[in-house]
Structure 1
Amino acid sequence: MTKVQTSFEESVARIQDGDTLIVGGFGLCGIPEKAIQALAEKGTKNLTVVSNNCGVNDWGLGLLLENKQIKKMVASYVGENKIFEEQYLSGELEVELVPQGTLAERIRAGGAGIPGFYTPTGVGTPIAEGKEHKVIGGRQCILEEAIQGDAALVKAWKGDAYGNLIYQKTARNFNPLAAAAGKFTIAEVEELVGVGELDPDFIHTPSLYVQHLLVGTSYEKRIERKTVQQA
């Protein structure tokens, strides 16, 4: 029943050219560093990547951008990545910007098996163009479709051999949503504990959603932009 694997390279080999990939993390916090690096080395192409943002120039999902492995990016925020800007302006990269709450709910709906939902967010903006409109409770709403991925990459603090996961503090951002919405979820953890050691009341992602689990070491945990007070 163990889901523990020993090779990131072998796990990400399941991700094929043209797949839709949902990736956890917020900025550089809680990103699946090791799986992204392995995917960059594998060179899988024409990916549609769904994530809150696209990392920075030389780290996180920015590594896949640098290799021109991403065909389309579905994200909420893209302001920290020069390569992203260049590829978008040159027409190399297709971009779908989604309000952050809507993106979270689209991923959550995908994991819950809900085809879509109505929201007032985005009404009257380019976000609403081409989408079905409906008045609910006196408010104009638009229909947003759920997002599911061929695969998902997530990062957790602790996990057990069955694939139960616990995230730490801010790293519990898009990771639980992404884990549930992937048809095949690869989770990397900082610490592997014995089965039964995790308190069931504090498990964030149940084992049902995880297919592969790997232990990562030597995490860099970079900071996107460090600001210090002047003396």
Structure 2
Amino acid sequence: MPSLTAILERHRADFHPVVPFDAGRDRLYPFDFTEDNTELSPTTIASTEHFAGYINATLQRHKARYGIGGYGEHRTLYARSSHFNRPLVAGSETPRLDPGESEPRRLHLGVDIWGPAGTKVMAPLDGIVHSFAFNNNDSDYGSTIILTHQLDGVGFHTLYGHLSLNSLKNLYEGKNITKGEVIGEFGMRFENGNWPPHLHFQIIADMQGWKGDYPGVCRFSERQQWLDNCPDPNIILQLAGW
């Protein structure tokens, strides 16, 4: 059977945009949140207000509608929260985070799209609501929706994190979602995990028992197994100019 990545590649022309974007007019700015970005100090990252100021000023300076990036990126910025210092418990019946100290999670498994709160988020193809939740830990997803899709007889999932609380209204598991339907909007800091407004978009082959949540960051030493289960979201996003 073809891999999920191969199936997604075959259907590139079939995906609806996940966010409003005019390839002929809109610009994107590729953010770098690794240690190579010397513009970002620990102080700036630790303060959501300062971090948002950096995001907004950079987008304005480059006349970009969105900032984008992050898949497979080893991010130093996650030191801002102890949430990413807890590894996942291996073999636990209920997926959870290990309260013990170990290698911190720093490798990003999705793509982030940074832009104004209220930016519409749309389904790239038909599906159903797998699950949803308000993951209200500091630096977590905040409001989260996960959809299930089928392509060529293969099921997979898309995750939308850092949404508004309003995005979770009137949802129920199994609800039908049509391609292009507005499923949510970028949330503000009090509802999106205390981040500057953005969307975390991730593709997941196997949910591995998770509901309303799925890790968007893994330990670097375990990167291959997580990246294998979470193909490159750019196959669906296809944002021109990046």
TM-score bracket for the superposition, by shorter chain length: under 0.3
Length-normalised TM-score, structure 1: 0.22
Looking at CA atoms only, which structure, 1 or 2, has the larger radius of gyration? Answer: 1
TM-score, structure 2 as length reference: 0.22
